[in-house]
Structure 1
Amino acid sequence: MLYKGSCHCGNVKFEAEGNIEGLVACNCSICQRKGALMWFIPRTSLKLLTPEEDQATYVFNKHVIKHRFCPKCGIHTYGEGTDPKGNAMAAVNARVLEDIELEAFPVQHYDGRKL
């Protein structure tokens, strides 16, 4: 299925393709504050509809995840990193996807504080 997503002001827009089977809520220092519900997909399944330079990036701790957000409205849209096998992945913030009911998906809680 193809999903459309964007930040609040529309400066950052993208499409994500795949089936949402579940979402992840993480309690690490940044995710706890953002309140994002993440949907993990291969990075190749995420297509930017606005130029990458229209986004801002935040990295912290081990600098292995690029947290992408809109520099105008501040909304976190997705993150980029690699899975344990080295595959490029995107963690899409499901809260910015159009026309979905978040309550329809199971949420797995991840203890990111232990990292």
Structure 2
Amino acid sequence: MTTHAGSCHCGAVAFEVETDLETVIECNCTHCYRKGLMLTFVEPEAFRLTAGEGATTPYLFNRHAIEHQVCPTCGVEAYAKGRAADGRVQIAVNVRCLTDVEPFSLTPTLRFDGLHKV
């Protein structure tokens, strides 16, 4: 596990996350696809918000199962909060917001057919 730093574009929302980036998902649901999200999922204990507590605007769609956290200043979704299929709380981290990771170096990514599963 490595600790990575991340933020939204303007820096109002910043975080640290401990992850191995072993599984990075590209989902084709209407939300993720349009935003170009690359996600890795971690337990809440592995995620620490370092700036922007209470500053994000939650965005909910479809079943309202995931709280997508959007910076109201720059519009970037750096992370989301939701539940895994087994009910565990998880944080979905937008890998494209990690400041020390080159997303194109993460191959292969897991393609998830969220368009047809939601």
TM band (smaller chain): over 0.9
Q: Which AA in structure 2 matches 1:50?
A: A
Q: Which AA in structure 2 matches 1:107?
A: T
Identical-pair percentage: 38
Q: Give the CA deviation at 1:52.
A: 2.4
Number of aligned residue pairs: 115
What is the TM-score when the length of structure 2 is the normalising length?
Answer: 0.92
1: CA distance between counterparts of 2:20 and 2:105? 13
1: CA distance between counterparts of 2:95 and 2:112? 16
- What SS class does the counterpart of residue 32 from structure 2 fall into? helix
Q: Give the CA deviation at 1:103.
A: 2.6
- Structure 2 residue ranges without an equivalent (≥5): none
Write the deviation string for residues 16-63 of structure 1: whole angstroms up to 9, x where unpaired.
012111210001111111001001111221101124211111001111
1: CA distance between counterparts of 2:40 and 2:77? 13
- What SS class does the counterpart of residue 54 from structure 2 fall into? helix
Aligned counterpart, 1:109: 111
2: CA distance between counterparts of 1:18 and 1:25? 17
Q: Does 1:29 align with 2:30?
A: yes
- What SS class does the counterpart of residue 52 from structure 1 fall into? coil
1: CA distance between counterparts of 2:101 and 2:115? 29
Aligned counterpart, 1:75: 76
2: CA distance between counterparts of 1:39 and 1:99? 15
What is the TM-score when the length of structure 1 is the normalising length?
Answer: 0.94
2: CA distance between counterparts of 1:102 and 1:50? 23
- Structure 1 residue ranges without an equivalent (≥5): none
- What SS class does the counterpart of residue 22 from structure 1 fall into? coil
Calculate the aligned-residue CA RMSD, in Å. 1.0
Which residues of 2 match residues 20-59 of structure 1 at below 5 A?
Answer: 20-59=21-60
Q: Which AA in structure 2 matches 1:65?
A: I
- What SS class does the counterpart of residue 33 from structure 2 fall into? helix
